[in-house]
Amino acid sequence: MASITVTNLTKQFAEKTAVNAVSFELGEHEFLVLVGPSGCGKTTTLRMLAGLEPASGGDIYFGERRVNDIRPRDRNVAMVFQDYAVFPHLTVYDNIAYGLRSRGASRALIHERVTAAAKTFRIDQLLKRKPRQLSGGERQRVALSRAMVRDADLFLYDEPLSNLDAQLRHQAREDIVALHNQKQKPSVYVTHDQSEAMAMGDRIAVMRDGKIEQIGAGGDLYKSPANLFVAYFIGTPSINLFDVTIEVEADEFYAVNPGLRVRLPAEIRDALQTYVGAPVKMGLRPEDLHSPKLAPFAVTEFNQIRGIVNVIEPSSTGCAVYLSTIEGVPQDFTATFRTRLPATYLEKEIPLALHLEKAHFFDPQSGLSLLKR
C-alpha cells in the first residue's frame, strides 16, 4: 500500500516553474532518493511535502488524507535540512530532545531516545555542549539525531551529508539506512550525488528542470535509462556516447561514423528500423569496453574501436582508462578494467572490444531511449 501519494505536484515562483507536475508513490517502508543537479527542484519538492511551502498545483496524500492544506506541525513529518539548522542557545541534548518535548513526550522516553540517537551518531560525549562548540560535521549529526528520535510518519532529508568529510559521510549513510530499517517509515532523501543515491535508495527518482525524468531501482536506471539525461547522470565514469548513423548492408545493421563501424545485434534491428540512414547516439558504459583478450564475447573486426590512452586512473576494482579516438572526429571515451593497465600503455594506441549487446541507443532530438531493455 502506498503511504504517500503525490500527483502532479507543481510549484510556481513568479516566472519560474521550480517543480513541474511531479508524481510518485511511496511505499510504507520505502526509502526514495530524489537526485538531480542543483536547481532542479529537489528542495522545493521536500518543502511542499513538509508543508513549509504551499503547492501551486497537484495533490499530496498521506494515506487517504489529502494534506495540502494541513499545517506543517500537524503533518507529523521530521525533516533534516541541508544547512543543519540547530538552536544555538540549546545544548546538544536539548536540541535533540526538542521535537519530542514540544510534543509532550515523557522525560524517560526523551532520555532513552536522545541517548540512543546520540550513540548511533557518535555524539554521546558531546551532549552538554552548545552548537558553537561543535564542528560542522558534529552539528550535522545533531540535526540527524533530532529527526531520528521522532515518531514521524514521514522522514525528509535535504542533502544532510553534504557538509561531512568523505569518511563521516560513508558512515552517516550507513547510519541513516540502518535507522530507516529500524523505523520502517517512508523516507525521501535528497542528494545531487548519484553515487550516494545509488548507495542508499530503494528507488531513485532522477529530476531535471522540475520534472522527474525516471523513477526506479538504481540498477534499473543504470541498465535501462529512459533517456540520455538519465543515462549520463547515473553511473561513474559516465556512459560513453558516440554519434553514429545506422546503416544496413546485406541485412546486417551497422552503427557507423568516420572512426567507427560496428555490427549491431540482430535483436535490436526492429527497434532501430525507422532510424536507418539517420543519426542516433550510441551509449556504452565504460565497463562494456574490454581489452580484446579478456572480452567475455567473441571479438571480431566489427566490434572494435581503437583509442590512444591519455590517462590511467587506478581504482579499488581495477582502473579507469581515458582515451581518445584516432580516426574520424576526435572524441574522448572511457573504459573501466578489472585489472590495472600498466603505465607503459600511456600515449599508446590500443584496441577495445565493444560489448554491443549492452549498447544503448537514443534519439538525438528527443533524447529518448530507442530500446526497451
> Considering the complex, what minimum distance in angstroms separates the CB of residue 13 from Mg ion?
14
Residue whose CB is less far from ligand ADP, 113 or 208 = 208
Q: Compute the least distance from the CB of residue 155 to ligand ADP, in Å.
A: 17
- Cα-only R_g, the chain: 25
Site string for Mg ion, 120-159 (x = CB under 5 A): ----------------------------------------
Nearest residue (CB) to Mg ion, 43 versus 303: 43
What 161-170 contacts at long range (C-beta under 8 Å, 24+ apart), as own/partner pairs, is 161/191, 161/196, 162/82, 162/191, 162/192, 163/84, 163/136, 163/137, 164/136, 164/137, 164/140, 165/137, 168/137, 169/196
- Could you tell me the smallest distance in angstroms from the CB atom of residue 281 to ligand ADP? 26
The residue within the footprint of ligand ADP, chosen from 10, 20, 44, 145 (CB under 6 A), is: 44
Q: Which residues contact 228 (CB under 8 A, 6 or more apart)?
A: 241, 281, 283, 362, 367
Shortest distance in whole angstroms from residue 249 CB to Mg ion = 50
**Residue 237, binding choice from Mg ion, ligand ADP, none, Cβ under 5 to 8 Å by partner class:** none
Residue from 4, 6, 18, 197 binding ligand ADP (CB under 6 A) = 18
Q: Which residues contact 207 (CB under 8 A, 6 or more apart)?
A: 22, 34, 35, 36, 40, 41, 42, 45, 213
Find the part of the chain contacting Mg ion (CB under 5 A) among 36-44, 105-113, 202-210, 318-326.
36-44
Determine if 16 is a binding residue for ligand ADP (CB under 6 A).
yes
Question: Which DSSP symbol is given to 134?
Answer: S
11 or 139: CB nearest ligand ADP: 11
Strand order of the sheet with strand 211-216? 77-80, 154-158, 187-191, 31-35, 203-208, 211-216
Interface residue with Mg ion among 10, 43, 214, 303 (CB under 5 A) is: 43
Alpha-helical segments (H) within 149-254: 166-183, 194-200, 218-223, 228-233
The Cα–Cα gap between 59 and 5 comes to 8
C-alpha distance across the termini of the chain, in Å: 27
Taking CB under 6 A as the binding criterion, the range among 20-28, 36-44, 164-172, 244-252 that sits at the site for ligand ADP is 36-44
User: Coil, strand, or helix at residue 25?
Assistant: strand
Specify the stretch interacting with ligand ADP by CB under 6 A; choose among 38-46, 58-66, 72-80, 117-125.
Answer: 38-46
13 binds ligand ADP (CB under 6 A): yes
**CB-CB contact of 125 with 115 (8 Å):** no
**Contact predicate 353/289, CB 8 Å:** yes
Q: Which is nearer to ligand ADP, 42 or 169 (CB)?
A: 42
Within residues 279-338, the interface with Mg ion by CB under 5 A covers none
- Residue 42 makes contact with ligand ADP by CB under 6 A: yes
- Please pick, from the candidates 4, 33, 35, 40, the single residue that binds ligand ADP as defined by CB under 6 A: 40
Q: Which residues contact 276 (CB under 8 A, 6 or more apart)?
A: 246, 247, 248, 253
Nearest residue (CB) to ligand ADP, 38 versus 167: 38
Kindly state whether residue 44 participates in binding Mg ion, applying the rule CB under 5 A: no
Q: Considering only 35-43, 65-73, 171-179, 363-371, which stretch makes contact with Mg ion by CB under 5 A?
A: 35-43
**Contact at 8 Å (CB) between 35 and 192?**
yes
Residue 38 binds to ligand ADP (criterion: CB under 6 A): yes
Q: Which residues bind ligand ADP (CB under 6 A)?
A: 13, 16, 18, 38-44
Q: Which residues bind Mg ion (CB under 5 A)?
A: 43
